[in-house]
Amino acid sequence: MAAGEERRFTVPPAAAGQRLDVFLAEQLAERSRSALARLIRAGAVELDGRRARPGESLRAGDRLTVRLPAPQPLTLTPTAIPLSILYQDEQLAVIDKPAGLVVHPAAGHSEGTLVHALLYHLEGLAGIGDRLRPGIVHRLDKDTSGLLLVAKTELAQRRLSARIAERAVKREYLALVWGQLATASGVIDAPIGRDPRQRPRMAVRPDGGRPARTRFSRIDSLSGFDYIRLELETGRTHQIRVHLAHVGHPVFGDPLYGGRRVRAEGRSREERETQRELLALLGRQALHAWRLSFEHPFTGELQVFTAPLPPDMRATLARLGCAHPMPDD
């Protein structure tokens, strides 16, 4: 977000009665609610031309003006973090990101991110795109493993970002989920927005969320679980995790959306103990960005990349008796 940027909003009918700081936290998801509250107290937020007050309720049609301060300077130091670079040319690179690695600097993660590693391994990346996210055209959650596309030039950044916005980059995932889905394949079509009660979470929001579609198909039905393949048609924050939790089948091991709770109902003591052992074995959400396909932004050639399952997911699936963890195509 640019230094000194001014943002304007008109309160929709669906947000009538909402607290000012809650509404702004939904509109400016990159800013914490506490930081926005400080801006309100500092007089940086106007409501219908007057200085806004913290905690006041909004009415439909209210007009808000928010003056955002310049971001604090942050120096990105190239860091020799090991990376699996599956492919690179002069324009782009494809990375197999391990679970546990944050993609770019953010609150609480100013060092040791994928961006710091990219600056070490890829020459000339500094200055490509956002200064805190050089080369980044899409993201993976910290504890999601798998394929990530990186731009190495300014022009590649623009073209790849446009391809993703046009849904011309196909991103496919593998996930282990709790329970058995009602159908072997289908589409989850449900809008997603910031959870108004728990800021770190996203949620299905029929009253103003952004459109979100996720395709799924079953690979294997296991004891108490489904192993599935997913394709993003849109790219909302936490989309797969939110959609699967919404239909009652959260990603196994997902701490934010109910995937780390042992399912005791109807289960024997032995089955519950197995669940605990599997949760300890995996230690994260069982979600892997498996395949990435797109037309090269300069040559037009179809590029297809796959990333093998990491050992923790492979061991978890083997324990459940999954004989063929990788799709045939």
- Asked if residue 302 is part of any domain, the answer here is no
Q: Which amino acid is at 40?
A: I
Q: Which residue is associated with the tokens 């731009």?
A: 151
For residues 82 and 116, state if they share a domain.
yes
- Asked if residue 185 is part of any domain, the answer here is yes
Q: Which domain holds residue 242?
A: 172-288
| Residue ranges of E strands in the chain | 6-10, 45-47, 50-51, 63-67, 84-88, 92-97, 145-151, 170-178, 185-189, 192-194, 202-204, 213-222, 225-232, 287-295, 302-306
- Asked if residue 324 is part of any domain, the answer here is no
Among 21, 62, 141, 226, the active-site one is: 141
At residue 47, the pLDDT reads 94
For residues 33 and 106, state if they share a domain.
no
For residues 177 and 283, state if they share a domain.
yes
For residues 16 and 122, state if they share a domain.
no
- Asked if residue 157 is part of any domain, the answer here is no
- Asked if residue 296 is part of any domain, the answer here is no
At residue 279, the pLDDT reads 95
For residues 252 and 193, state if they share a domain.
yes
State whether residue 194 is helix, strand or coil. strand
For residues 79 and 54, state if they share a domain.
no
For residues 62 and 78, state if they share a domain.
no
What does the alpha-carbon distance between residue 294 and residue 290 come to, in Å, rounded to a whole number? 14
What does the alpha-carbon distance between residue 23 and residue 19 come to, in Å, rounded to a whole number? 6
For residues 280 and 202, state if they share a domain.
yes
- Asked if residue 80 is part of any domain, the answer here is yes
For residues 203 and 236, state if they share a domain.
yes
For residues 92 and 145, state if they share a domain.
yes
Q: What is the DSSP string of 40-89?
A: HHTT-EEETTEE--TTPBP-TT-EEEEEPPPPPP----------EEEEE-
Alpha carbon of 124 to those of 92, 93, 129, 135, 285: distances in Å? Answer: 12, 13, 12, 10, 34
Other residues' Cβ atoms within 10 Å of the Cβ of residue 123: 8
Q: How many domains does the chain have?
A: 3
At residue 45, the pLDDT reads 94
Our answer to whether residue 141 is catalytic in this structure is yes
Decide: 101 and 143 in contact? Cβ < 8 Å: no
What does the alpha-carbon distance between residue 149 and residue 164 come to, in Å, rounded to a whole number? 10
- Last residue within a domain, chosen from 46, 67, 88: 67
- The model's pLDDT over 158-174, given as tens digits with 9 standing for 90+, comes to 899 889 989 999 999 99
Can you say how many angstroms the Cα of residue 103 is from the centroid of all Cα atoms in its chain? 10
For residues 124 and 231, state if they share a domain.
no
User: Which CATH number fits the domain that encloses residue 127?
Assistant: 3.30.2350.10
- Asked if residue 310 is part of any domain, the answer here is no
Mean per-residue pLDDT pooled into runs of 10, the chain (329 residues): 73 89 79 78 92 89 88 74 96 97 81 93 79 87 97 91 92 97 97 86 90 97 96 94 98 96 83 92 96 96 97 96 85
Q: Which amino acid is at 146?
A: G
Per-residue HEC secondary structure of 242-281 comes to: HHHHHCCCCECCCCCCCCCCCCCCCCCHHHHHHHHHHHHH
User: Which CATH number fits the domain that encloses residue 60?
Assistant: 3.10.290.10
For residues 193 and 280, state if they share a domain.
yes
What does the alpha-carbon distance between residue 289 and residue 95 come to, in Å, rounded to a whole number? 11
Decide: 216 and 186 in contact? Cβ < 8 Å: yes
- Asked if residue 27 is part of any domain, the answer here is yes
At residue 32, the pLDDT reads 65
Q: What's the pTM?
A: 0.79
